[in-house]
A and B are shown apart, each in its own frame.
Chain A
Amino acid sequence: MKDRTRVFGSVALFALVFLSMLLLFAIMSSKGTLYDSVGWLILGVIVLAFGVLYLRGGLKDARKGMSFQDERTKKITLYAGSAAFTLSIWWMLALMYLSDKINIIPRHVAAAGIAGMALLFFISWIWYDRRGAPE
């Protein structure tokens, strides 16, 4: 029951985030700012890819009676979050530096920052899931 709630919560969260990104993309596209809206679509696809990857294995295991989330997956999420946070600081600093050098408008910098954070978390999670969390 606890696992079922966790699965339902995770699916709902990923769906909500993805639909929000899709909605932002649709709203901005309809306003004629297709160039600006593509960033939200990319972000949505990253969230969707991560969601599918994360939930696919978990659901398969849960159906067989195994735990959906165990101590290893919790550790991986913790390490991935920590690594993504550290890398995001450097990513943001690089963006701020580059925004001065090459003329990027502030909202593009913000969008690239958020998309970069999501991507970094996704990559970190894959990295620790495949390589194992350091002890």
Chain B
Amino acid sequence: VRTRIKELRARYDMTQEDLAVKVGVRRETIVFLEKGKYNPSLKLAHDISKVLNAKIEEIFIFDVGENSS
């Protein structure tokens, strides 16, 4: 999964720490999310979308064919 967290964070002049505090996770989790190395829970995705003022599907982009069953 690719994310636009970094881009949207920059729009609001928000650091990784700021976002981590607002959504109640550790900074490393934001780092992993931005690198696309961690799939968040629906709750975390929802919280991030609220803070970044964007829809979940605008933030998290699932590549076609990834994890397809």
Q: Which residues of A pack against B, CB within 8 Å?
A: 57-58, 61, 64-68, 70-73, 131-133, 135
Contact B32 A135 (CB under 8 A): no
> Is B26 in contact with chain A by the CB < 8 A criterion?
yes
Residue of A58, A61, A68, A133 contacting most chain B CB atoms (<10 Å): A61
Q: How many A-B residue pairs have CB under 8 A?
A: 46
Taking a contact as CB atoms under 8 Å apart, the answer to whether A67 and B25 are in contact is yes
Beyond A70-B25, A71-B25, A72-B25, 17 extra complex contacts between A and B, CB < 8 Å:
A57-B26, A57-B28, A58-B26, A61-B20, A61-B26, A61-B27, A61-B28, A66-B20, A66-B24, A66-B25, A67-B20, A67-B25, A71-B29, A71-B40, A72-B32, A73-B26, A133-B38
Q: Which of B16-69 contact A (CB under 8 A)?
A: 17, 20-21, 24-29, 32, 37-41, 44, 67
Chain B contacts to A: CB under 8 angstroms: 17, 20-21, 24-29, 32, 37-41, 44, 67
The residue of chain B having its C-beta at the shortest distance from the C-beta of A133 within the complex is B38
Given A70-B29, A73-B26, A64:B40 Cβ within 8 A? no
Are A132 and B26 in contact (CB-based, < 8 A)?
no
Partner of A132, one of B24, B37, B41: B37
8 tightest Cβ-Cβ pairs between the two chains A and B:
A70-B25, A132-B37, A72-B29, A65-B21, A61-B26, A135-B39, A66-B20, A67-B24
